[in-house]
A and B are shown apart, each in its own frame.
Chain A
């Protein structure tokens, strides 16, 4: 009885070990590529969120500011700085899952541009609130703007949840900017 239990356990352990070995190898091989890609996506979004920034070398991730912003605004993922202003990566819950946006804010506190980093919104519906036509409407907004759906911002038909998420994210980025500036 005990002998059989040990045999079963050992078999499972061997299978598990072999599997773990294979997975470890795959992970080591792919890790660099995956990190590179994630980073590239972020930088690309940052560049399009803050027009005027030409190359990736101009922007720098600021861990100190990130930590400061995160104390009050949990959804802020990262804060990048550059000569032209700040870029906030804000994560929210969209309709289809996590939705991460990059919000570029210039030194005077105006939104310069919004870019999508990660989105799983439904193509053709939710994604309509992530098109430049809609995101462009946030340009020039400041922390003094109410940013409330139905008041100073309109939701896109068929993309109410996504519109709400985007508006909330922009609002949060602006508030975080305000906090950092203090």
Chain B
């Protein structure tokens, strides 16, 4: 098998088989909190993907050089640096988004997805595979955020606003605000999990 096909397999794995949110169930806290709007999902997903990809690349490329005993502090320094870069850049170039994502951007540092990929994957694999792994995990994370965002924003506010223009509107009705509050996050996530499990069980039969 050549490098490209295994690379693709690493990408696909993060997307479906080992989707960080739906299968590994890591990094749920921030996902539940910020999936109130599709736009949040886009930026949060992109930010996390950026951090994942670059921390994976750096860690994979210096992995032979990192002493085993201090690998975790080094991972954290690498991850935290990329998170801070995202944090500052978002604040400088996309201030409205930054205001809404608020504390969740700095909290990407402690997002289990990223440390788990650094420790569990990038530390033991090549740069190319780690890059694809980060990309796949990031994409899987982003897609779930988008799906949750669509459901919650549409049901909770009655319309979807992307970059200051209304994309979909359900017309004049009083939307159940519970969907954009925390209980709505759990409800939406539970329904998605149930659907996915049903699909998996059907496939097994």
Q: Which residues of A contact B (CB under 8 A)?
A: 7-8, 11-12, 15-16, 19, 22-23, 26-27, 29-30, 33-34, 37, 41, 97, 118, 120, 122-125
Q: Closest residue of chain B to A28, judged by CB?
A: B88
22 residue pairs of the A-B complex, CB under 8 angstroms, read: A8-B69, A11-B65, A11-B66, A11-B67, A11-B70, A15-B74, A15-B77, A15-B78, A16-B77, A26-B84, A26-B85, A26-B88, A27-B88, A30-B89, A41-B95, A97-B102, A118-B99, A120-B102, A122-B180, A122-B181, A123-B157, A124-B157
Please determine whether A26 and B89 come into contact, CB atoms closer than 8 angstroms: yes
Give the A-B contact count at a CB cut-off of 8 A: 62
Please determine whether A22 and B181 come into contact, CB atoms closer than 8 angstroms: no
Bound together, the chains give a CA A97 to CA B89 distance in angstroms of: 22
Give chain A residues whose Cβ lies under 8 Å from the Cβ of B74: 11-12, 15
Given A11-B74, A37-B95, A124:B180 Cβ within 8 A: yes
Give chain B residues whose Cβ lies under 8 Å from the Cβ of A29: 92
CB proximity of A25 to chain B, nearest CB, Å? 9
Is chain A's interface secondary structure helix, strand, loop, or mixed overall?
helix
Does B177 sit within 8 A of A, measured CB to CB?
Answer: yes
CB proximity of A88 to chain B, nearest CB, Å? 21
Give chain B residues whose Cβ lies under 8 Å from the Cβ of A41: 95
CB proximity of A21 to chain B, nearest CB, Å? 10
Bound together, the chains give a CA A119 to CA B80 distance in angstroms of: 26
Q: Closest residue of chain B to A97, judged by CB?
A: B102
Is chain B's interface secondary structure helix, strand, loop, or mixed overall?
helix
CB proximity of A97 to chain B, nearest CB, Å? 7
Kindly supply a per-residue 1/0 record for chain B positions 68-107, scoring 1 wherever the CB is within 8 Å of any chain A CB and 0 otherwise.
Answer: 0110011001101100110011011101000100110000
Does B36 sit within 8 A of A, measured CB to CB?
Answer: yes
Bound together, the chains give a CA A97 to CA B101 distance in angstroms of: 13
Please determine whether B177 and A124 come into contact, CB atoms closer than 8 angstroms: yes
Give chain B residues whose Cβ lies under 8 Å from the Cβ of A124: 156-157, 177, 180
Please determine whether B177 and A8 come into contact, CB atoms closer than 8 angstroms: no
Give chain A residues whose Cβ lies under 8 Å from the Cβ of B69: 8
- Pick the contact of A34: B66, B81, B85, B88 (CB < 8 A): B88
Give chain B residues whose Cβ lies under 8 Å from the Cβ of A26: 84-85, 88-89
Interface centre among A16, A23, A118, A124 (most CB of B within 10 A): A124
Give chain A residues whose Cβ lies under 8 Å from the Cβ of B157: 123-124
Give chain B residues whose Cβ lies under 8 Å from the Cβ of A33: 92-93
- Pick the contact of B84: A11, A23, A120, A122 (CB < 8 A): A23
- Pick the contact of B88: A30, A122, A125 (CB < 8 A): A30
Given A16-B77, A22-B81, A23-B81, A34:B67 Cβ within 8 A: no
Please determine whether A12 and B180 come into contact, CB atoms closer than 8 angstroms: no
CB proximity of A143 to chain B, nearest CB, Å? 32
